[in-house]
Amino acid sequence: MGIKFIGVKEAANVYTVGKDFCLEHAGKAVLRVTALGLYKAEINGKKVGDAYLTPGWTCYHKMLQVQEYDVTDLLQKGENNISFTVAEGWYKGRLVYADKMNIYGDKTAVWAQLIVDGKTVVVTDESFVAKESYIRYSSLYDGEVQDFTAPVKDLTVCEIPFDTSVFVPQICEPVRDIERIAVKEMLRTPKGELVCDFGQNIAGVAEVSTPEGFEGTITLQFAEILVDGNFYTDNLRTAKATDTFVVRGKKTLCPEFTCHGFRYVKITGGELSAECVTAIVRHTDMKRTGTVNTSDAMVNRLLENVVWGQRDNFVDIPTDCPQRDERLGWTGDLNAFCGTASYNYDVRLILKKWLADLRNEQAEDGKISHIAPDVIGYHDTASLWCDAIVMVPWKLYEMYGDVSFLSDNYEAMRKYIAARESNCENGLMAKGFEYGDWLALDKEQCLCESGNYFGGTDVYFISNAFYAHCLDIVAKSAAILGKTEEAEAAHRRYERLLQSIRGEYFTPAGRLAIGTVTAQALALCFGLAEEKHRERLAKELNENVLRHGCRMTTGFIGTAYLLFALSDGGYHETAGKLLLNREYPGWLHEVEMGATTIWEKWNSLLPDGTPNPEGMNSYNHYAYGSVMEWVYRRVAGIQYASPGFRRVKIMPNAIRTLDSVHAEFESVNGKIVAGYEKHGNSIRYFAEIPEGVDAEVCLPGEQTVPVGHGKFVCEREISPE
């Protein structure tokens, strides 16, 4: 049977195509489905599977996922019905800032095959009948309109040609409804609006139930914050984030094809009680692998905010934010957050899929798109952002020990390095677009001049630092993959670049000529400073941070490296102060201001509680959540000594004013526990190593000791300050 993509001739935002069919006997049944757009499949009136936003977001013309469901239990002997409701989603719907539509195509369509006992019994073709759906409209940014009262018109089925050679099976865990959250407080705002507070900023939808006898239109609007107690949506920019339900009678209502980023829901059209409204957390169903608990409730809240930031932004692809008219797979955000993400959750599959898109979007000349899947068309060598093609596979290889992250991406890495080389002059990066230390506060104008978000660190210093780091990774990757000559060539280029960087950015006496915190942190973390000058540089960095009152001034780049640079340079206590500082700007300042996720900018909310007037204020951006990787690795001390934690280094390092830290991480080689607890004048370090893993323990100021598997406890006197 010829399986076709089918859509409708008429212009319809959402529609349903369906068919009755007869089965002589009901046997083992499998349904294979995909769509140009989003689909919901139903058999005999029941939703097939429990996934949402299927078939997911990929660069559809290169890779389109096909889902496979066991539908044995949904079918019966005799008469059956199968239907598919199709919405625009990422394929055709509104995406990116303004009104960019039809990015992948101007017609949505569905493709399906029902196989019973190995025999294809139904395929999508012109024998299906089409009609409008009770879902009148759906958009990822704008929300959904469901009308259960208006009649639905018939539509005309037609074939939509599409190349099926790009089909691939589902790669990662599906997006599911993961958790239900009850209303924490029902509010009447100063403006008199009825608003539910769920107490947590999430990605998902709200479900509402109308009472018996209800007749009317319920509208739900979604927001992340209240300003002066009032419902506030300016930071969503053009995203309408509104669900509308036209209903008669008692009904439970929930949108199908959309997702919102919210803590607050404004209800109009009915005086619903708190019991009638539930928030549903909707995201990719990854397995949780890491937790950290400390003696400080504020720190715990911060770490919870980081985890929520990950949940809210791992919705089929890793996004920058879940709420405004953006929600894109920004490469720099993920690159900064990847370490934290891979401790918290098993992100292998979602990032394998995302990396496939990143490769698919790579330009001929090796340049990398700023987002994946790409819908804006920028390709470059921008540090941190475009470097994701090198750094993310390497990080995943280190975390999971799976060499396929290197082999799958090596060719793309190599081409990317050539692109970086083409932006060099006299051996140093000197051209190409850079985001700099994005959103850093160390450039005066950044606080007041709209659009100047690049921070105070010379962008080409950053670029050279990242190029060196990438070359080092490519050299190591080539060696692991047995490409000896390429490994040697990349290593030689790395060495030459290092010399050029030292010639350009360090004084002859070895002092770093750029005085920003970010420059100093990068020079330490990427090994740019000569060994003999590292101590002085670490000291300068420490003084620099102290001069800033241990407040955060760094952007996406500096923030990911600063605490590591301090801890490894002998200033762990200062790193601890940056973490624990409650004043603006800093992590705990956000917590003190009531944040339940990580903000995009340190000043997304000004200290007086009003949104930053510059705009671009997301209250759910995970980049600064990079701090949690440092907590796992440098405070609790769960550190890989070989890829995939086959060998581990346990190096807990206490912060004076933080009494205990307990971290657990389910590595691919078993569960690792580490941390410390203070009791009076003594401190107890502990660890748990799974069988089959070699471990070494390194306590502050002591020699590294090899240990076997099992539980370890070491007690030490706390030295006076």
Separation of alpha carbons 210 and 191, rounded Å: 24
Of 264 and 556, which has the nearer Cβ to ligand BGC? 556
Separation of alpha carbons 210 and 277, rounded Å: 9
Q: Is the dihedral of CA 304, 309, 315, 317 positive or negative?
A: negative
Separation of alpha carbons 359 and 424, rounded Å: 23
Separation of alpha carbons 171 and 498, rounded Å: 39
- Residue span binding ligand BGC (CB under 6 A) among the ranges 28-36, 330-338, 534-542, 687-695: 330-338
Q: Is the dihedral of CA 392, 398, 402, 403 positive or negative?
A: positive
Return the closest-CA partner of residue 329 out of 294, 363, 369: 369
* Position 428, amino acid: L
Of 443 and 634, which has the nearer Cβ to ligand BGC? 443
Of 173 and 434, which has the nearer Cβ to ligand BGC? 434
- Residue span binding ligand BGC (CB under 6 A) among the ranges 108-116, 329-337, 516-524, 667-675: 329-337
Distance of CA 88 to the CA centre of its chain: 23
Options 590, 600, 629, 677, the catalytic residue: 600
Separation of alpha carbons 126 and 159, rounded Å: 7
Q: How far is the CB of 383 from ligand BGC (least distance, A)?
A: 12
Q: How far is the CB of 96 from ligand BGC (least distance, A)?
A: 10
Contacts with 74 (C-beta within 8 Å, 6 or more apart), sequence order: 29, 43, 44, 46, 48
Is 173 a binding residue for ligand BGC by CB under 6 A? The answer is no
- Residue span binding ligand BGC (CB under 6 A) among the ranges 28-36, 177-185, 324-332, 400-408: 324-332
- Per CB under 6 A, which of residues 414..443 are in contact with ligand BGC? 435, 438
Strands (E), 58-108: 64-70, 78-87
Q: How far is the CB of 318 from ligand BGC (least distance, A)?
A: 11
Is 332 a binding residue for ligand BGC by CB under 6 A? The answer is yes
Is 602 a binding residue for ligand BGC by CB under 6 A? The answer is no
Of 64 and 616, which has the nearer Cβ to ligand BGC? 616
Separation of alpha carbons 707 and 693, rounded Å: 10
Of 328 and 528, which has the nearer Cβ to ligand BGC? 328
Of 276 and 439, which has the nearer Cβ to ligand BGC? 439
Q: How many helices (H) and strands (E) does the chain have?
A: 14, 41
As a 3-state breakdown, the chain gives helix, strand, coil percent values, each rounded to 5, of 30, 30, 40
Is 333 a binding residue for ligand BGC by CB under 6 A? The answer is yes
Q: How far is the CB of 430 from ligand BGC (least distance, A)?
A: 21
Is 621 a binding residue for ligand BGC by CB under 6 A? The answer is yes
Q: How far is the CB of 600 from ligand BGC (least distance, A)?
A: 6
Q: Which residue has the tokens 């475009």?
A: 386
- Residue span binding ligand BGC (CB under 6 A) among the ranges 23-31, 300-308, 325-333, 657-665: 325-333
Return the closest-CA partner of residue 318 out of 282, 368, 284, 345: 284
Is 688 one of the annotated active-site residues of the chain? no
Is 326 a binding residue for ligand BGC by CB under 6 A? The answer is yes
Q: How many residues does the chain have?
A: 721
Options 326, 361, 540, 664, the catalytic residue: 326
Which burial class, exposed, middle or buried, applies to 300 when counting CB atoms under 10 A from its CB (0-12, 13-18, 19+)? middle
Q: How far is the CB of 221 from ligand BGC (least distance, A)?
A: 22
Q: How far is the CB of 618 from ligand BGC (least distance, A)?
A: 6
Of 279 and 627, which has the nearer Cβ to ligand BGC? 627
Is 462 a binding residue for ligand BGC by CB under 6 A? The answer is no
- Residue span binding ligand BGC (CB under 6 A) among the ranges 4-12, 75-83, 327-335, 395-403: 327-335
Of 406 and 623, which has the nearer Cβ to ligand BGC? 623
- Residue span binding ligand BGC (CB under 6 A) among the ranges 291-299, 328-336, 526-534, 641-649: 328-336
Q: How far is the CB of 438 from ligand BGC (least distance, A)?
A: 6
Of 88 and 333, which has the nearer Cβ to ligand BGC? 333
Count of residues engaged in binding ligand BGC, rule: CB under 6 A = 9
Separation of alpha carbons 287 and 668, rounded Å: 12
Q: Residue 242: helix, strand or coil by DSSP?
A: strand
Q: How far is the CB of 380 from ligand BGC (least distance, A)?
A: 11
Whole-number Cα distances in Å, 157 to 11, 438, 511: 12, 48, 71
Q: How far is the CB of 518 from ligand BGC (least distance, A)?
A: 16
| Concatenated DSSP letters of 616-656 | ---S---GGGGHHHHIIIIII-EEESSGGGSEEEE-----T
Of 4 and 621, which has the nearer Cβ to ligand BGC? 621
Is 600 one of the annotated active-site residues of the chain? yes
Contacts with 183 (C-beta within 8 Å, 6 or more apart), sequence order: 196, 197, 198, 274, 275, 277, 278, 279
| Binding string, residues 284-323; x marks residues near ligand BGC by CB under 6 A | ------------------------------------xx--
Answer for which of 330, 561, 685, 712 binds ligand BGC (CB under 6 A) is 330
Contacts with 499 (C-beta within 8 Å, 6 or more apart), sequence order: none
Token pair listed for 188:
């009447």
Is 601 a binding residue for ligand BGC by CB under 6 A? The answer is no
Whole-number Cα distances in Å, 16 to 13, 154, 155, 259, 471: 11, 10, 9, 20, 51
Separation of alpha carbons 597 and 579, rounded Å: 16
Is 622 a binding residue for ligand BGC by CB under 6 A? The answer is no
List, by residue number, the catalytic residues.
Answer: 326, 600
What is the binding site for ligand BGC (CB under 6 A)? 320-321, 326, 330, 332-333, 435, 438, 621
